[in-house]
Amino acid sequence: MNTSYEYTHAEPPSFLSKLCVLGFRLSGIKRQSADKAREAIDKDSLPAPIPARMLAKFDVVQREFEGRPVWTLSPKGGRSDKVVLYLHGGAYIANIIRPHWSLIECLIDQTQASVMVPDYPLASAATCLDVFTYLDRLMPDFHRFRANRPWTIMGDSAGGGLSYAWSQWLRNHGQPQANRIILLSPWLDISTTNPKQLEIDRHDPMLPLMPVRMAAKAYVGDVPYDDYRVSPLFGDLQNLPPVSVFTGTYDIVNADAHELKDRLKSEHIPYNFYEYPKMFHVFMALTFLKEAKVAIGQISDLIRGARD
């Protein structure tokens, strides 16, 4: 990828996406987030099971790694030539949920990629350093699964921040890097102190700042908030795989996405940037939305190497 590409979704929000926003507001999900964050921090949440339709459709293997499940999903009836390491979101305190599986299902359908999904440790039982130790120990298994095939590292929300931070760690330690990085609504500055977030918070129907900061405090441990391992926005962005960012403007971490784009632009590092006006946090995981279908098509093109 030698040039940057920017996409702004031109169509107005679909009826279903507006209905989702209304539903989020009426449900009080944003008001309830503080209580849910405390509960998640106090108790290790369990992963959502893989839906039965995916078990029937794909070759699925679940095994234990350091006491936590790791799933690999591959198309039936043939060897895939693409591999994805997917790091799920959940503010580092919550586990994989059903919409994550729906998104992964769509991506395998469209790309025929094989996907590894680790159930990495969560705060407060684990901190950033524990997660990095876990991933370091997991990588030999991942590379055996990859078997020299091209690979993408991808994550949403906290998993997006972790994907970018882990990519920097791999580079810093001379380890094999991915062919591309894809970040979905990434949380790139764990401090959530960007003043633009206060304005976005008025529109964001899902994420309030205070519970997000509670989760951040549980995850960082003794690592400074501006350390690249928790806030990859402030790390060294040079000599990393091509990065693609997907974001919606009704999402408080949209401010992080723009900060990253500005840094990449100022440092003359090519990037892909996809922005969806009035869309919310990790909207692409609601795979029935018109906007999600467009974004998933774009993500699939990237996995296939159409815009490297």
Task: Tell me the C-alpha distance between 181 and 47, whole Å.
Answer: 24
Confidence band for 287, pLDDT divided at 50, 70 and 90: very high
Pairing of strands 151-156, 180-184: parallel
* Least confident piece of the model among 80-84, 160-164, 225-229, 272-276: 80-84
> Is 90 exceeded by the pLDDT of residue 281?
yes
Q: What's the pLDDT at 34?
A: 62
- Residue 186's φ and ψ, nearest 5 degrees, are -75, 145
* Least confident piece of the model among 20-29, 55-64, 85-94: 20-29
Tokens of 129: 């350093």
Tokens of 281: 């946090």
Distances (CA, A) of 246 to 224, 251, 295, 299: 26, 11, 8, 9
Q: What's the pLDDT at 226?
A: 97
Confidence band for 197, pLDDT divided at 50, 70 and 90: very high
Give percent helix, percent strand, percent coil of the chain, each to the nearest 5: 45, 15, 40
> Is 90 exceeded by the pLDDT of residue 151?
yes
Give the global pTM: 0.96
> Is 60 exceeded by the pLDDT of residue 306?
no
Tokens of 131: 């997660």
Confidence band for 69, pLDDT divided at 50, 70 and 90: very high
Spatial contact of 298 and 276, defined as CB atoms under 8 Å apart:
no
> Is 80 exceeded by the pLDDT of residue 11?
yes
Task: Tell me the C-alpha distance between 285 and 71, whole Å.
Answer: 18
Q: Give Cα 211 distance to the centre of its chain.
A: 19
Average pLDDT over residues 236-254: 98
Q: Alpha helices of 76-195 — where are they, by DSSP H?
A: 98-111, 128-146, 158-172
Task: Give the strands of the sheet with 271-276, arranged side by side.
Answer: 5-8, 271-276, 243-248, 180-184, 151-156, 83-87, 114-118, 68-75, 58-65
Task: Tell me the C-alpha distance between 4 and 244, whole Å.
Answer: 10
Q: What's the pLDDT at 128?
A: 97
> Is 60 exceeded by the pLDDT of residue 307?
no
Confidence band for 305, pLDDT divided at 50, 70 and 90: confident
> Is 80 exceeded by the pLDDT of residue 1?
no
> Is 80 exceeded by the pLDDT of residue 44?
no
Q: What's the pLDDT at 38?
A: 66
Average pLDDT over residues 261-288: 97
Confidence band for 209, pLDDT divided at 50, 70 and 90: confident
Distances (CA, A) of 56 to 48, 50, 94, 217, 272: 17, 10, 27, 40, 34
Unique residue bearing structure tokens 């964001």: 204
Q: What's the pLDDT at 40?
A: 63
Q: What's the pLDDT at 41?
A: 65
Query: What share of the chain in percent tops pLDDT 70?
Result: 95
Average pLDDT over residues 217-229: 96
Asked if omega into 80 is within 30° of 0 (cis), the reply is no
